[in-house]
Amino acid sequence: MTLAQKIEQVLKDELKPENIKTIIDLAEFLKARENQKKWDEIIK
3-33 pLDDT, tens digit each = 778 777 777 776 677 777 888 888 899 899 9
Q: In angstroms, rounded to a whole number, what is the distance separating the alpha carbons of residues 34 and 41?
A: 11
- Number of helices and strands in the chain (H, E): 2, 0
Domain that holds residue 32: 3-43
What's the rounded mean pLDDT across residues 31-41?
90
Task: Look at the chain and count its residues.
Answer: 44
The total of structural domains in the chain comes to 1
- List the beta strands (DSSP E) in 1-44: none
Q: In angstroms, rounded to a whole number, what is the distance separating the alpha carbons of residues 25 and 33?
A: 12
